[in-house]
Amino acid sequence: DGGITQSPKYLFRKEGQNVTLSCEQNLNHDAMYWYRQDPGQGLRLIYYSQIVNDFQKGDIAEGYSVSREKKESFPLTVTSAQKNPTAFYLCASSPPGQINEKLFFGSGTQLSVL
Amino acid sequence: RKEVEQDPGPFNVPEGATVAFNCTYSNSASQSFFWYRQDCRKEPKLLMSVYSSGNEDGRFTAQLNRASQYISLLIRDSKLSDSATYLCVVNRGSTLGRLYFGRGTQLTVWP
């Protein structure tokens, strides 16, 4: 079945540590996105990529980094510069020609700080 | 001012009730509008797109008022399974397109 796979489901970060969240899709979608969701809040865009080897900052990119070396993969690194990383992270993709029109989401990663 | 404003609720209604959610957006250039449903700690899923003429999908009706920059979702004959958070989502409509999410309205349907 086609879809988006995020891993791990739960992740714990120690102070000063970088952690990487995985996002893989087999939907052949060009565009991929990372969102952050805090309790009781809407999703906020961290980074997005419309094509391999290209990505753009979203509204809250500070303290995060991404890469897009393959169409299927869009990993997100939460760096030590992100001082408040505890949140629910959602990866998404959208079909060709429909950038941002309809998003397909992964099941999310809950990141917590130890 | 936030791009998308929603009343967070919570709305607590009995089965069979009719409930309506409202949402306003700040950018008049916005072109596409959606309602997503999100269950607790799950990913959002598209419930329905919202068209200018209004549209219906079973028990769900969505309306758009561009002049007032206002979107609504009406749920008729509420079911227990409708309990979730409903997210209002707006596409600003620039070339690159960006989706902006409201904070969501929480609905609990009780038996």
- SS in 3 state form for B72-97? EEEECCCCHHHCEEEEEEEECCCCCC
CB < 8 Å to A88, chain B? 41
pLDDT score at B32? 87
pLDDT score at B91? 86
Distance CA B39, CA B42 (A): 5
pLDDT at position A98 over 80? no
Q: What angle do CA A28, A33, A36 make, to 5 degrees?
A: 145
Q: Does A60 touch chain B (CB under 8 A)?
A: no
- The reply to whether residue A99 touches residue B97, judged by beta carbons under 8 angstroms, is yes
Distance CA A70, CA A49 (A): 11
Q: Are B71 and B100 in contact (CB under 8 A)?
A: no
Give the rounded percent of residues in chain A with a pLDDT score beyond 70: 95
Task: Compute the mean pLDDT over every residue in chain A, rounded to the nearest whole number.
Answer: 91
Nearest-Cα residue of chain A relative to residue B5: A42
Q: Are B45 and A105 in contact (CB under 8 A)?
A: yes
Among B16, B100, B43, B36, residue whose Cα is nearest residue A48 = B100
Nearest to A41 among B32, B34, B103 (CB): B103
Segments in chain B below pLDDT 50: 95
Among A89, A70, A90, A69, residue whose Cα is nearest residue A28 = A70
Among A78, A81, A82, A102, residue whose Cα is nearest residue A92 = A102
Give the rounded percent of residues in chain A with a pLDDT score beyond 90: 71
Nearest to A103 among B4, B99, B102 (CB): B99
Nearest-Cα residue of chain B relative to residue A37: B103
User: What is the number of other CB atoms lying within 10 angstroms of the CB of residue A23?
Assistant: 24
Q: Are A64 and A49 in contact (CB under 8 A)?
A: no
pLDDT score at B94? 59
Nearest-Cα residue of chain B relative to residue A41: B103
Length of chain A: 114
pLDDT at position A97 over 80? no
Q: Which of A46-50, A72-76, B95-99 has the highest mean pLDDT?
A: A72-76
- The reply to whether residue B97 touches residue A101, judged by beta carbons under 8 angstroms, is yes
Distance CA A80, CA A102 (A): 32
pLDDT at position A100 over 70? no
Q: How far is B83 from chain A (nearest CA, A)?
A: 16
User: What is the number of other CB atoms lying within 10 angstroms of the CB of residue A89?
Assistant: 23
pLDDT at position A112 over 60? yes
The helix/strand/coil state of B29 is coil
Query: pLDDT higher for A97 or B62?
Result: B62
Chains A, B: CB pairs < 8 Å? 49
Q: Does A56 touch chain B (CB under 8 A)?
A: yes
